[in-house]
Structure 1
Amino acid sequence: MPPLTVPRPRRIVGVSLKMYYDLQSTISYVRGVLQLDGESWNANVDLFVIPDFITLMESARILEPSHVILGAQDTHWEDKGAFTGEVSPLVLYQAGARIVEIGHAERRALFGETDESVAKKAGAAARNGLIPLVCIGEKTHQSIASAAVGMAVQECKPQVTSVLDAVPDDAEVILAYEPVWAIGAAKPADPDHVVNVTRELRKLTTGRTGATTIVYGGSAGPGTYAKISEGVDGLFLGRFAHDINNLKRVIEEVGGA
């Protein structure tokens, strides 16, 4: 039986700084990430970091000699135009970004982003040479495991299909499965839940010629990847990884799994 989709040749780990840091703290963190480049995990894992827009170009300069991939936290769906306050995907690429995070649960909840607008942004990212990293996840969680998986897949399916319809078949896409109820929780979602949901979502990518990577986010940390590696290709980290030593621990685990 052929694979469901083109596999990504390497695992991937990333971290978003959201709006937690000021300018100097962000630059300091990016320099810390640079120091992780060259470790033994480089053979198996791609690492990406997503700072704020203001520090994007300086971060690109710092990371330029490394293998670390630079990302951006959002984009607009048009390349140019009268969109005050928005950021063009073309400019993000020119500034050095190679990944762009789209559709995080916070943006869906706070700024009214929809599956339609997220898909348009994903398409814009892809046509400008960026890899769309699209956050998906269900809002509610059922206590009965079988029901929880079914409801999660039902809620996530339109989030996935709308994006895949908007990007070229041969474009790389990263899907970040982040159950909304697990974001900021004391512990990650149950491993069986994550594996069962992501296995079903991966079936939606059948026939794509471009690599479709699935990562898990939502209170992820040390020990998370080993328990869910059957379903995902890596991790998307939040505040836990704002400590560089914690980030290094996770990368070492994913690289050695």
Structure 2
Amino acid sequence: MTPVSAHGAAHRTPRATVGVSLKAYFGRRSARVWFGEVAVAVGAHEAVRSGAVEVFVVPTYLQFDDARDYLAPVGIHVGVQDVSAHEPGAYTGEITAAEVAESGGVFAEIGHAERRRLFGETDEVTAAKATAALRHGVTPVLCVGESERTDAAAAARATVAQLHADLAGAPAGRVVVAYEPVWAIGAPEPAPTAHIVAVSRALRAALDADPARAGSTVIYGGSAGPGLLARLDGAVDGLFLGRFAHDPAAFTRVLDEAAALAATRADADADADGDGVAR
């Protein structure tokens, strides 16, 4: 059966992806206000309604039900900011992938630099969490990125190695790889355009070389905001937003850029289907 979206249209493979992590900035009341504003502004966006642009939001656990109730009806997916490496059992305080899936969670953010730095999570822990998510049909949003600022070639090598380590032993399935150079997170500006392009293309090549990761996506985070996606020359599939998405108008501007990327890719696919040559 062809999957059906919240709007009743047949699901289409997205050509661009935009995600938002709310971290722990909002309380539950302020989050509800934001969800309501986003449901109106983003849910009305034609590219989201058509499925050309995939949108997901990862709130806190206590905000999850509110986010799902506001956002899922307008076609915005909801996820969680972390997930347990364990199956259901005697693991006090853990949120299992099984429960995330049962609750309607579609994505799980895994391996963010803050989790690694503040809570000591290693590549082995990240791989175990990615494995648990994929086992239960939850798409990992796998955060990777070099810790120190360096040249793009070195950053690409380090980040691809991290990607392989973070997926070691994981079952087949789609992943969303969020390239977030640690030194750019929370900075006034994102990483330089050429740097993002070089590393993101290396990550894309690594995913494309692995049949188990068919359909996977590369997005950029790290002080990402309006105006960036258009500069990246199609090297990424979208953006992973933080504080810039707190303003629904800025969020919508990013969606406009994602819609333009999706339209360009649709035109290229149409050209390829027409004569076998992508123009």
Q: Normalising by structure 2, report the TM-score.
A: 0.84
2:126 maps to what in 1? 118
Deviation at 1:167, TM superposition (A): 2.6
Q: Is the 8 A contact 2:156 2:198 kept in 1?
A: no
* Higher RCO structure (Cα 8 Å, ≥6 apart): 1
Letter in 1 for 2:17: I
2:75 maps to what in 1? 67
1:254 equivalenced with 2:262 (yes/no): no
Q: Normalising by structure 1, report the TM-score.
A: 0.90
2:64 maps to what in 1? 56
What is the alpha-carbon root mean square deviation over aligned residues?
Answer: 1.4
1:196 maps to what in 2? 198
Q: What is the aligned counterpart of 1:80 among 66, 83, 88?
A: 88
Q: Deviations over 1:33-56 (max 9, x none)?
A: 211213122232111111100121
- Secondary structure of 1:166's counterpart equals coil
- Secondary structure of 1:64's counterpart equals helix
Q: Is the 8 A contact 1:75 1:102 kept in 2?
A: yes
1:177 equivalenced with 2:185 (yes/no): no
Letter in 2 for 1:153: A
User: Which one is further off, 132-141 or 209-218?
Assistant: 209-218
Q: What is the aligned counterpart of 1:26 among 15, 31, 37?
A: 31
Q: Is the 8 A contact 2:14 2:54 kept in 1?
A: no
Residue correspondence of structure 1 range 1-257 to structure 2 within 5 A: 9-35=14-40, 36-42=42-48, 43=50, 44-142=52-150, 148-169=151-172, 171-205=173-207, 206-209=209-212, 210-257=214-261
Letter in 2 for 1:196: A
Q: Is the 8 A contact 2:72 2:78 kept in 1?
A: no
Deviation at 1:119, TM superposition (A): 0.7
Stretches of structure 1 lacking an aligned partner (at least 5 in a row): 1-7, 143-147
2:267 maps to what in 1? none
CA distance, structure 2, for counterparts of residue 39 and residue 33 of structure 1: 10
CA distance, structure 1, for counterparts of residue 15 and residue 225 of structure 2: 19
- Secondary structure of 1:12's counterpart equals strand
Stretches of structure 2 lacking an aligned partner (at least 5 in a row): 1-12, 262-279
Between Structure 1 and Structure 2, how many residues are aligned?
A: 244
